[in-house]
Amino acid sequence: MISETEAYTMVKMMQGVVDYGTAARVRNRFGIKGEVAGKTGTTNDNTDGWFIGYTPQLLAGAWVGCENNFIHFSSTANGQGANTGLPIWAYFFQKVYEDKTLGIDPNSTFPIPPNMRSDLYLNYESNVESGAEAEDVGNGGATDYGYPAEDNPYDDQPAPATKPAEKPVQPANPAPKPAQPQQQPATTPQTPKATYPPKPGKGN
C-alpha cells in the first residue's frame, strides 16, 4: 500500500499527461477545465487504444479495440489511445458536468496530504522557465540514496585524469627497404600453327 504522499505525487504526474502530454486534447480540443489526471494507452500494431482519466470525484475509462488482434488500425495516428478512447471519455465527462443533478463539481481539487503542507514541496512545474537549461549536478553517490558508503564500492568518485594515448615515435631516417628482385613478365609458350597434310600425288 502506498502512502498519501506517493499517491499525490502520482496524481501530479498524471495531471502532467493531461496538461502537457499525450492527453492534452482533453484541454485544447474538448475544453475540459479543472483538475484532471489520466493516461493514454496504445498496444502493438494499434490493436487497442484506451484512456483512463479521473477527477477528484469521478474516475472513468474508455477502450476501443477488438477481441481478434487481426483487426486493428492501420496507423498510430488513428489507433492511438488519444484518438480512440480519449474522445469517448471526454464526451462522457462533458455530459457529466452539464448534468448538475449529479453533484460533480468541475472546480474540485485533489486534496494535498497534511504532511506535504508542512514539509518542503518542490513545484518543478514553475521553478524553471520554458526552454531554460538546468544545471548539471550529476547523479550523486550511493550515500545520497541512503546507502552507507562503506557498504557500496560503487559510490561516485572523481574520474582519474587520463592522458590521451601517445602515438609511437617514428625514426627520423628509417632504414631503407631491401631491393626486391625484378620479376620478368611471364611468357606464354608459342604453340605451332596447324598444318594441312600434303595432297595425294603432290609429295611433300
What is the pLDDT averaged over residues 72-101? Answer: 94
Predicted TM-score (pTM) of this structure = 0.57
What is the pLDDT averaged over residues 44-57? Answer: 94
What is the band of 172 on the pLDDT scale with cuts at 50, 70, 90?
A: low
Report residue 176 as a C-alpha cell. Answer: 631503407
150: pLDDT strictly greater than 80: no
pLDDT value for 3: 84
Angstrom distances, CA of residue 143 to CA of 94, 146, 149, 158, 160 = 50, 5, 6, 15, 21
What is the pLDDT averaged over residues 143-147? Answer: 64
Burial class (CB in 10 A: 0-12, 13-18, 19+), 61: middle
pLDDT value for 155: 47
What is the pLDDT averaged over residues 37-47? Answer: 93
> Residue 67 and residue 45: Cα distance in Å, rounded?
14
Question: Which range in 21-25, 113-117, 170-174 is most confidently predicted, on average pLDDT?
Answer: 21-25
What is the band of 88 on the pLDDT scale with cuts at 50, 70, 90?
A: very high
167: pLDDT strictly greater than 60: yes
What is the pLDDT averaged over residues 122-133? Answer: 55
Q: Which of 92, 84, 87 is nearest to 43 (CA)?
A: 84
